[in-house]
């Protein structure tokens, strides 16, 4: 390879050149004094778009959603001090979901360290320690105090963010750094990091293939880390070729096409009976792919996940192997590659055995018939106020197959998980961490990542109000996104717990909402009230044709409780919450629970 001649330029320009080489096409953030040289440089680079959000937390959420949808590095920027701490609050979701995000923040000039400069956050003499705060949430954090080392610092941070188990990294630039002149030597990303690590333990895969081939009722369980890098195609191909049913948790809902004949639904608090029945009553080998085995997905670590069955784990992170349940076999590496090799090994093993897959196929068909996955009589109800099941049904009828739906933290993530049949990679969730308001801001990043695809946010009103200022961002950049706000003037999940467990003592979970229609219109965004059966379908179709941003204020029966799996009660009990108190709310919940058995 020929040596490229170093070019003298500002540190800010060198930073932008590195981002360009990494195929970064957008950065989200709010400028401040120390990072002004970077924003000035971005102004002259047409290949990288700078998106001004209204709160630094939203910049982190937008970068997260951009990375989650595109599979590329997300980048967010803030100033020092208060701007940085605002940005910090949006980064844990990227850490928990293993999503690569690079956070860049400012700092006071190096000559002012420890002297009480405005908004100093060095940790010296009773100032906040910005680096220490980010260290608790990011895979890596560092302060670059030498401009000549900037390129190494940036490339190192990107390498850490994108390699192994991906996640957020953080760099701090003092105010006197980015304008300094340095010698920049261009490098292609593959010169300082692996562009795609296809690590695979072939011996372990051969052992796993033998175990799967010998199982009569194997079951695939997909988890959040099967989303990035995208392992969904391999999961579905393996499932359909060798007739292995698939279940997912809510965190990776739609990692495969839920129309697949071998799909048995979601597991967890609001899981599907078909998948749970197969897991508990038939499965003799559970093959997990990128699964964390968290509290909600396993219904408080149900021993049924390993009782009378073998557990085989495929993961990108060795720390996850055997973390919750003991395994009989495991392999660590690049999940799509592990699955491809497993598929190939099974092809060889099973072709020589002439094995009959009829038992598993007939059992899957029986369960799908006996316990329909995305079906209930309430979905067709014309009752007023609207039932949530009917809202999901009307949404399903209007949504095109290429849509992207960001599901915020609310009861509606549960309603979608239970009643919405999604195409592959249609639902973007943060279910394992669930910060309220992330999706309201995240749609900005998702739409910029995929401008040709319709993008929706579905949230409760409480979550919407936490990031509602980002409607101004969408209006400013003329982004065609749709917010579906489920308006019940309450924090629904916690309100329901107060009704059922605390005898209806409602404390700090109800409020008066603004007029969401007028609120949207104040930004020049259309607002529509939805309160009738079938209306959402026709209004969404109209809005999709118009190709403009819109807010839908959806009124529904707030007292309708999502159906939960019977073991879900154990979660509240282990949290130390009281037992259900007799009353209308607990009676409704009990009747739904009995119906779900």
Cα–Cα distance between 461 and 367 in angstroms, integer? Answer: 36
- With tokens 């990072």, the residue in question is 35
What number of other Cβ atoms are within 10 A of residue 377's Cβ? 7
- With tokens 């916690």, the residue in question is 494
* Angle between helical axes of 56-70 and 438-449 (0-180°, round to 10): 50
What's the confidence (pLDDT) of residue 592? 63
pTM to 2 decimal places: 0.96
What's the confidence (pLDDT) of residue 595? 64
- 3 state DSSP class of 371: coil
Cα–Cα distance between 159 and 136 in angstroms, integer? Answer: 19
Cα–Cα distance between 547 and 467 in angstroms, integer? Answer: 22
CATH code of 377-596, in short, is: 3.40.50.970
| H or E, element range at 526 | strand 526-530
- With tokens 């239970």, the residue in question is 418
What's the confidence (pLDDT) of residue 591? 64
Sequence-distant (6+) residues with CB within 8 A of 146 are none
- With tokens 């109209």, the residue in question is 542
Domain 202-370 in CATH 3.40.50.1220? The answer is yes
Cα–Cα distance between 246 and 288 in angstroms, integer? Answer: 10
What's the confidence (pLDDT) of residue 1? 45
What's the confidence (pLDDT) of residue 354? 60
48 near 16, Cβ under 8 Å?
A: yes
Q: What is the pLDDT along the chain (597 residues), one digit of tens a residue?
A: 455 789 999 999 999 999 999 999 999 999 999 999 999 999 988 899 999 999 999 999 999 999 999 999 999 999 999 999 999 999 999 999 999 999 999 999 999 999 999 999 999 999 999 999 999 999 999 999 999 999 999 999 999 999 989 999 999 999 999 999 999 999 999 999 987 778 888 999 999 999 999 999 999 999 999 998 899 999 999 999 999 999 999 999 999 999 999 999 999 888 899 999 999 999 999 999 999 999 999 999 999 999 999 999 999 999 999 999 999 999 999 999 999 999 999 999 988 766 565 678 999 999 999 999 999 999 999 999 999 999 999 999 999 999 999 999 988 898 999 999 999 999 999 988 999 999 999 999 999 999 999 999 999 999 999 999 999 999 999 999 999 999 999 999 999 999 989 999 999 999 999 999 999 999 999 999 999 999 999 999 999 999 999 999 999 999 998 888 778 778 888 889 898 888 777 676 666 655 666
407 near 413, Cβ under 8 Å?
A: yes
What DSSP letter does each residue of 115-173 carry, written as one string?
Answer: TT-TT--BSSSS--BHHHHHHTTSSEEEE---GGGHHHHHHHHHHHHHSSS--EEEEEE
Domain 7-191 in CATH 3.40.50.970? The answer is yes
Q: Within the chain, which residue ranges are assigned CATH 3.40.50.970? A: 7-191, 377-596
Cα–Cα distance between 423 and 402 in angstroms, integer? Answer: 8
* Widest Cα–Cα separation across the chain: 78
Q: Within the chain, which residue ranges are assigned CATH 3.40.50.1220? A: 202-370
What's the confidence (pLDDT) of residue 355? 58
- Helical ranges in 22-55 per DSSP H: 36-43
Question: Six-digit token pair at 215?
Answer: 């199982």
């Amino acid at each position: 390879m020929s040596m490229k001649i170093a070019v003298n330029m500002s540190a800010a320009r060198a930073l932008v050149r590195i981002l360009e080489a990494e195929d970064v096409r957008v950065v989200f953030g709010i400028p401040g004094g120390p990072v002004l040289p970077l924003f000035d440089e971005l102004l002259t680079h047409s290949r990288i778009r700078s998106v001004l959000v209204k709160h630094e937390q939203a910049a982190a959420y937008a970068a997260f959603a951009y990375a989650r949808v595109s599979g590329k590095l997300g980048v967010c920027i803030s100033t020092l001090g208060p701007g940085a701490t605002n940005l910090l609050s949006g980064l844990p979701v990227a850490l928990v979901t293993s999503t690569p995000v690079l956070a860049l923040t400012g700092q006071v000039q190096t000559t002012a360290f420890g002297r009480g400069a405005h908004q100093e956050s060095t940790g010296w003499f009773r100032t906040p320690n910005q680096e220490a705060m980010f260290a608790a949430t990011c895979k890596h954090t560092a302060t670059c105090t030498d401009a000549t080392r900037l390129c190494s610092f940036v490339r190192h941070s990107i390498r850490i963010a994108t390699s192994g188990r991906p996640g957020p990294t953080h760099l701090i630039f003092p105010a006197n750094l980015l304008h300094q002149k340095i010698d920049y030597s261009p490098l292609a990303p593959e010169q300082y990091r692996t562009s795609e690590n296809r690590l695979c333990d072939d011996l372990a895969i051969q052992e796993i293939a033998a175990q799967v081939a010998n199982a009569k009722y194997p079951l695939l369980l997909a988890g959040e880390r099967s989303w990035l890098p995208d392992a969904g195609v391999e999961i579905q191909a393996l499932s359909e070729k060798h007739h292995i049913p698939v279940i997912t948790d809510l965190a990776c809902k739609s990692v495969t096409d839920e129309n697949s004949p071998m799909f048995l639904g979601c597991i967890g608090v609001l899981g599907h009976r078909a998948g749970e029945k197969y897991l508990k009553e038939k499965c003799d080998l559970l093959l997990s792919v990128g699964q964390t085995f968290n509290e909600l997905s396993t219904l408080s670590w149900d021993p049924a996940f390993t009782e009378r069955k073998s557990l085989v784990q495929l993961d990108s992170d060795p720390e996850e192997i055997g973390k919750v349940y003991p395994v009989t076999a495991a392999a660590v590496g690049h999940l799509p590659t592990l699955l491809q090799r497993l598929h190939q090994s099974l092809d060889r093993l099973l072709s020589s055995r002439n094995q009959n897959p009829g038992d598993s196929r007939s059992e899957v068909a029986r369960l799908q018939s006996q316990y329909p996955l995305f079906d209930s009589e309430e979905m067709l109800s014309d009752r007023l106020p609207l039932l949530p099941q009917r809202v999901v049904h009307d949404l399903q009828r209007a949504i095109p197959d290429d849509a992207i739906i960001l599901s915020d933290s609310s009861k509606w993530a549960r309603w979608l998980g239970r009643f919405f049949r999604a195409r592959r990679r249609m639902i973007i969730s943060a279910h394992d961490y669930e910060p309220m308001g992330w999706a309201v801001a995240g749609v900005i990043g998702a739409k910029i990542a995929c401008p040709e695809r319709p993008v929706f946010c579905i949230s409760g009103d409480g979550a919407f109000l936490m990031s509602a200022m980002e409607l101004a961002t969408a209006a400013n950049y003329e982004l065609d996104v749709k917010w579906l706000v489920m308006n019940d003037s309450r924090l629904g999940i916690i309100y329901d717990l107060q009704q059922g467990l605390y005898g209806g003592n409602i404390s700090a979970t109800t409020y008066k909402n603004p007029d969401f229609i007028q609120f949207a219109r104040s930004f020049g965004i259309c607002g529509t009230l939805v309160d009738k059966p079938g209306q959402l379908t026709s209004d969404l179709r109209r809005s999709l044709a118009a190709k403009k941003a819109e807010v839908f204020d959806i009124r529904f029966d707030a007292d309708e409780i999502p159906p939960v799996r019977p073991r879900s009660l154990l979660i509240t009990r282990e949290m130390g919450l009281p037992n259900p108190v007799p009353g209308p709310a607990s009676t409704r919940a009990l009747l739904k629970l009995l119906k779900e058995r």
